[in-house]
Amino acid sequence: MSDVEEWSFPEDLQPDSDDVSFDLDAALDAVVNVRAEIPEDAFTASILGTERVGNGVVIREDGTVLTIGYLITEAETIWLTTNDGNVVAGHPLAYDQATGFGLIQPLGKLGAPMLEFGNAQACQTGDDVFFLGQGGRQHALKAKLIDKREFAGYWEYVLDEALFIAPAHPQWGGAALVGHDGRLLGIGSLLVQEAVDGEAVQGNMVVPIDLLKPILQSMLTTGRPGTPPRPWLGMYTTESGKNLVVGGVAEHGPAAKAGIKQGDLVLEVAGHRTSSLAQLFRTAWQTGPAGTTIPLTIAREGDVLRFEIKSADRNDFLKKPRLH
């Protein structure tokens, strides 16, 4: 459970009920603490750890909690804690690899209010926003939306338009971004460096809630987003200047099996020259569904090598939640 006495934002950075047009206390109480335990032999344990702590937000009257998916991937045990100290076990209901959203089903009555969805697309750069972590007003932050732009992550992840806010929340994972009307705009995902007035500052990347709306019903009923799984390479690639460098490969993953090595430079995917992470991933995804063989041209120690990577569904490598 989070202890609000351990830390708090300065008073001038905390939202005040007198300065907002919505029920601030209700919005704060909709955010819960998420604590997950993952088996040591889980596929993501070495990267994301076996004990993960963050936030989630109640989005339905039945208590369904929305969070960022990496908190609950392969979770064996989940505990949800409300601001009034109620502790309830949870079940990892769904995780969408494409958006990064995760859903948790409480296995008891949370007794927390829900947040209604807002419209992230309608937000404008410069808008005042509020980033809410579990723990009440002390863990709530007044911030600004400083950018809306494409985001690509080395783990084969692309958002066409992510939200970027500053200043940064130190417990960003699964935190709730709300607008001036108190409606949910997105879920906190990452700590990033942003440029504000010519200076580098820490901020957060937030996944827009709009991406959840078309897939929510399928996630609730099937645990999947209802779209074919994308081909996964298992290749952790980063941008270094104008080069795309393989920083590592997933053990026993498709790229590792094909012979891709750390330090390789990616030149082409499926015959197309690549110059950015987003282009690399989109080109791979456009070749077909998971299981499609994807040609890759690599530069290694002065040689140009060509590989055929038999892609996979990343979900097949993950431990599935136990039914309660």
C-beta atoms surrounding 60 within 10 Å: 14
CB within 8 Å of 56: residues ≥ 6 apart: 31, 32, 33, 34, 65, 66, 67, 71, 80, 104, 174
Rounded to whole angstroms, how far apart are CA atoms 131 and 184?
A: 10
pLDDT of residue 196: 76
Yes or no: say if 70 and 173 are a contact pair by the CB < 8 Å rule. yes
Tokens read off for 295: 């040609």
Query: Mean pLDDT in the chain?
Result: 95
Give the model confidence (pLDDT) of 39-58 as tens digits.
Answer: 999 999 999 999 999 999 99
Give the model confidence (pLDDT) of 283-303 as tens digits.
Answer: 999 999 999 999 999 999 999
pLDDT of residue 321: 77
Residue 76 DSSP class: S
Taking 50 as the pLDDT cut, the residues of the chain under it are 1-4
Q: Where in the chain is the domain with CATH 2.40.10.120?
A: 1-226
Tokens read off for 213: 């709306």
pTM: 0.95
Q: Where in the chain is the domain with CATH 2.30.42.10?
A: 235-317
Would you identify the CATH topology of the domain 1-226? Answer: Thrombin, subunit H (2.40.10)
pLDDT of residue 194: 83
Q: What is the CATH number of domain 235-317?
A: 2.30.42.10
pLDDT of residue 323: 59
